Structure formats: structure tokens, C-alpha cells
Chains A and B, each alone.
Chain A
Amino acid sequence: MSWFSHYFCFLFFLLLTSIACFAEDEVNLLVIVVDVNPIWWGQQAQREPEFTLSKCLDGVMVMGNSHMALTRTNKLAVIASHCQDSHFLYPSKSLGGGGGAAEDTSSSRDGKYELLAVANSAIAEEIRNVPSKTEVRGNSTDTLLAGSLAKALCCILTIYSVYPELISCLGQVIKAAEDCALQYMNFMNVIFAAQKQNILIDACVLDSDSGLLQQACDITGGLYLKIPQKLALAQYLLWVFLPDSEQRSQLVLPPPAHVDYRAACFCHRNLIEIGYVCSVCLSIFCNFSPICTTCETAFKIQLPQMVKPKKKKLKMPA
């Protein structure tokens, strides 16, 4: 990062700490989910060699460090979302058991705050292990975000039970590849669970707009932003996503995106405005059909009443 960005971030930091409320017992948790789909990042390296996965992770580390430096009691977790699996980059399993042992191996050489140095080295170490741990099956360019978010929620809940003073939780998703349309139901389940636990989900989208994440941010009350310039990822993260929910009311943030809540019909996957819903399985159809294709119930069709023509009495000639 250039010296100008450093300076700018420092100024912004000062601004934030001045408007942050200093309550010692409050614990804010930030969980960052990074999309590390290797196929998309590989294609990206050929399209734009200046912005690679390592630059993206630099931005994530800046964000994580800033969050932890804001208040002593803030906590951080970072998850990498791969094609078929998700890995916790920080806190990593090797660190969870023996925290003391790892610290002397990665003691900071430049006088950085101990916790930040540990976090950075853990993230850098684990991300190197990720490609070796999972194999890439197929060449799909979409990511399964629902699984990573589900693991993030479980992690948040555990921390909730350990630290009862937890007041706010932010889940941040940095998404690169496209949506996987098949995971709609699981994704919605995860979103409703997050909404119930008062966890806000923010989304920072690098490439193409994602309808699922727009709905997620709308339902949970988070922010959705599609970044115009990928190189400035760290700046956008710090400007827009670092303040927590109380501070956001005092800032002027990007306006909410228009969310398309129309349903897609099950037969053609078109978005429809008026449709027919099966009362048994709640599947949506665009045209009336006598049998539901999902649950195979036969529907009762209201036939128009047949009116019997009245027999007119023939008048007998007198």
C-alpha cells in the first residue's frame, strides 16, 4: 500500500475512535468470509494481474487488524470459502489448543501489537494450506457460501456463550465468483437463523451482482456494496464496513440496493409477478396445472356449475 493510503487510513482510524463509545466490557465480533474459489481467482490473475488473491488477503488483514485495534476486547474470525469446503483461517485449530506455544514462533519483529502479528501470520500460514487440503472437482466458477456462513454462525454462537457481554456481531462476506442457484434454500435458512440471532451480514462484491447476498443484507440489516475498483478493496472495507451498527447511523453510507423479491417459478426459473402456489409443498408455478410436479398431489379444480336448462311446459292450444 502506498504511503498515501497508510496516511488516509490512519486519519480515518482517528475519526472512528473518536466517535466510538468506550465501554470496557463490550465485545464486538467480526467474522470475515473470503471467497477463495481457485478457478475464479486463476481467471482473474489472467484478466488483471495487479489484483490477485494475495492483494485481496492483504486488504482482509488490514480490515481485521483495524477491527482488533479499535478496542482491546474486539474479536476476529476469518473463514476461507472454497468450492467444496470452508476453512477457518483464524483462529486456526493449531492455535486454539496451544496459544502460548505459537506466540514465540511468530513474535513480531517490527514492534507491532502482538495479537495483530499472530493473526496475520496465522492467516498467511493457513491460506497456504488451503489449496493442498481440498481438491477441486469440476470446473465450476460458483461458490457455496451457505456452508461457510453456517459454520460462521456456529462459531459466533460458541463465542456468545463464552463472552456473555457480546453486543454486536458482524458477518462480512467478500465475494468474488457468481452465485450458485442450487443453494437457495440452505442460504435462506442460514439468513433467517442469522436474523433471529441479530447478526448483521454485510456483503462486498468484487465481480458480479449477487441476488442472494442482496436479499441477505436486506433481511438482516447489513450493507451491500459492489466495488467499482478492485484495487481499492482495503479502502472500501475500511470506509464502509468497519464501523459497527451504532456508528453507521452517524455516517452517510452507500444507499441500499433495490432488492428483487420476486419468486422464480419452479418450471422455467423465470421471475414472475403473479403465480400459483401449491398449498402442500409451497412450490411456485407460472401456469395452472392439475398436478403439482414436486409433491405430485392432484389439485381440486373448481369447475363451473352446470345449469340444467329448465324444461319449458308446452302450452297446449286451447
Chain B
Amino acid sequence: MDDEPERTKRWEGGYERTWEVLKEDESGSLKATVEEILFQSKRRRVVESHGQVRLGMMRHLYVVVDCSRSMEDQDLKPNRLTATLKLLEGFVDEYFDQNPISQVGVITTKNKRAEKLTDLAGNPKKHITALKKAVDSACVGEPSLYNALNLAVQTLKHMPGHTSREVLIILSSLTTCDPANIYDLIKTLKGLKVRVSVIGLSAEVRVCTVLTRETGGSYHVILDESHFKELLMLHVKPPPASSSSECSLIRMGFPQHAIASVSERDARPSFSMSHLDSGTGPGLTLGGYFCPQCHAKYSELPVECKVCGLTLVSAPHLARSFHHLFPMLPFLESPVEQLQGSRFCEGCQGELRDKSAYVCPSCRGVFCVECDLFIHDSLHCCPCCIHSRAAL
């Protein structure tokens, strides 16, 4: 499934001889091949970086979930809708972990209409509660791509120019029922710089291919549940920013966290503004974050102050995104026999057991496979390089 229309489809190519992958050695055992396959599957997770490309760090993403009749199909256990919503909960968590200053909204489409499940917000709890509740909803009718995209665009077009506007559609039906010409809508989307990506659950649909090609998104169709999870996680990383997005200085506030206990003399309880969202009614609390401009209180960050409109974040939120801006170089693979010196991994101090080790290009430190995976996935800095002050 690709963007160029000239690429041959899978059924047009030759046979894939999968039995040739397995090779026996002299004694007839497959051990070497199995180890090789396991090794490759471990390595597959290290994704290559984009290089020196400007990324869209402040993202506004709408996720459109198809709730039509085809979602009741049981090829994903227990049915497609439950499996999708469960994976989306994990996606929302991971998304806010990697992009703390971004926002997400959820739209569902069924019965030829589209409606908003949750509005664009920066708080993951709200989305996860709404996704959990949506499992019980009935799947009827046909989806409508036009209505869903229209609904998303109505909010996205008011977003400021320096943020990225994205829509991720999870489409399981092979049909869509639109009230007007969708190709006109695609032209509008292109003009508004909205990037639409689609994950198909059934098969490739031509209108989605055109949609994603014109707007610059990606289109994939899942093979099974683990592939679905992988495809979803591809959208967690910030995409390269389009060349026409503006760069501006955004005014933000960094509130202090006031912790007060009842025993202190001048502890004053106050109302928190976040009760306006949660609907549980106003409650008096002692501590919280006070907006530096208007002193309205909030219980969690990041949040946009409802009184004065200032975006409130804390320094670690911005620090979470730094590793996207300074990506690590992938380590060079080299066979263990060629290494001089001790056969110990610098990270975990264990012996190098696999057939190849990974060498950091700047400090020549040697690491084993698991440490290499951990360093590139979670740590984002080489443990040996950060010891030298020159790397700082």
C-alpha cells in the first residue's frame, strides 16, 4: 500500500518462496536460522531518525474511529471495536508521554453521521474515560468520511499556524456515504494544511489512497493485531513539519506548585478552575498550580488557563520533547570477534553473548543488543558519552 499509483499490487508480483528463508546447517538443525530470526526481530524496533528535519512539536490530532456495522466483525478479538478502543487507550497514553504539549480529540462516525466523542484537550484522563465508555455503543450503519473530516476541520482550521493539524482515521468499512463531493473536501484540506492519515482494517480503498496522497499522510492496512499496534505507534512520533508552517514565539506560563497543609497558618483553601471541566462540582483544595498572570488555580498541568488564555506548562514537559530535537545516531554494528579489549558491555557490565555488538560512533563504547535497544527507545543518550563534558 503505497502512494505512487504505478506500484504493482501484491497479487501482481511473483510468488514469495517463504520456505527458502529457513536454511539447515550440516547436521540438519535450524538453530542458527532461528537465532538469526529472533535477533532480527529484536533489531526491527530501532526506527531510523529523520535527520536534521524540523518537526512539528505542538500537535493537534483528531482520531476518527469508524463505528459502522463492519466493526462488529470478530476477526480482531473480541470484536474490532473493542480491540480498536483498547489500542487507542494505549496510544493516547504514549502520545501524551512523547508530546506533552499537544492535544488530541476523538470523533466517531456511524449511521452516515459523525459526532465528537471528546473535544481537543491536553488531558489524557478525559479521553481514556470516554474511550472506555464507548465500548458499549452499538455499531450501526455506514461511516461517512466527508462528515467526519468536515467536523474535524471545523475546529482545526482555527488552530494557530505554528501547530501541526492532523487527522488519523481508523476505517474498517469498505464504503463511505458522503453528502457532497469528497474530492472538493480534499482540496480544502490541502489548502488548510491538514495532514490526514488512514489505518485500514479491511482492505485498501482508493478514496483513502487519494486522500492521504494529496494531504501528505500515510495509509496502511493492518495484517493482525500486533501490526495494528505498530502502525498506531508510528503516529506517536512528531511528524516532519510542513514547509509552510509558521514559526512563532508562544507565550507560556510556568506556575509554581504550592503545597500547603492545614497546619500552616496562612494556608487558604481555594476553588480550582478544573472543576468546570469535570462536572463534579466545585471543591475547596489547599494546594495547586496558580497561573502567574491571573492567579486562577489548576490541579494539573499542562492546561490552558480559562480566565486569561495563557498556556501553562512545567519545565519537564518541554524537556520530554527534547530528545526528538536532538536525535541519537544509531550505533554501528560490529561482530564480537573483531573487538579488541574486554568483552563487556559498558552499559550493564554483562558479557557480550550475541554475535554482534553495537559501538557508539562518538565515544567507541561497546553495548549489547538489549542495552542498545533500551538506549535508543527510552534513554536517548549514550551512557558513556554523557560522562565527557565535551558532549554536553
Contact = CB atoms under 8 A, between A and B. Distances in A.
Interface string A255-276: 0101111111000000011111
B350 to A, nearest CB: 5
Interface string A282-318: 1011001100100001111000000000000000000
A154 B348 contact: yes
A154 B392 contact: no
Interface in B99-152: none
B249 A261 contact: no
Interface residues of A, number: 62
Contacts of B310: 274
B378 interface: yes
A279 interface: yes
Contact of B250 (A146, A154, A215, A279): A279
Interface stretch (A186-194, A222-230, A242-250): A186-194
Contacts of A192: 316, 319-320, 378
B318 interface: yes
A153 interface: yes
A101 interface: no
B248 A155 contact: no
Chain A facing B: main interface SS = mixed
A279 B314 contact: no
B392 A182 contact: yes
A259 B257 contact: yes
Nearest to A92: B349
B37 to A, nearest CB: 19
A157 B368 CA distance: 12
B306 interface: no
Given A273-B253, A282-B57, A300-B248, A151 B383 contact: yes
A264 to B, nearest CB: 8
Interface in B140-176: 161-163
A139 interface: no
Q: Please tell me the size bucket of the interface on B.
A: 35 or more
A15 interface: no
A196 interface: yes
A161 B368 CA distance: 13
Interface stretch (A44-52, A54-62, A82-90, A232-240): A82-90
B248 A299 contact: yes
B315 interface: yes
B303 interface: no
Contacts of B374: 153-154, 157, 193
A279 B344 contact: no
Interface in B348-384: 348-351, 367, 370-371, 374-375, 378-381, 383-384
B262 interface: no
B174 to A, nearest CB: 39
A275 B323 contact: no
B249 A276 contact: yes
A179 to B, nearest CB: 13
25 contacts: A91-B349, A96-B350, A150-B379, A151-B347, A154-B383, A157-B374, A183-B392, A196-B378, A215-B316, A262-B254, A263-B318, A264-B315, A273-B253, A273-B254, A274-B310, A275-B254, A277-B251, A277-B318, A279-B57, A279-B58, A279-B249, A284-B252, A292-B247, A298-B247, A300-B247
A-B interface, 9 closest residue pairs, ranked by CB to CB distance from nearest: A154-B347, A150-B383, A158-B348, A273-B292, A263-B315, A279-B162, A188-B319, A147-B387, A276-B249
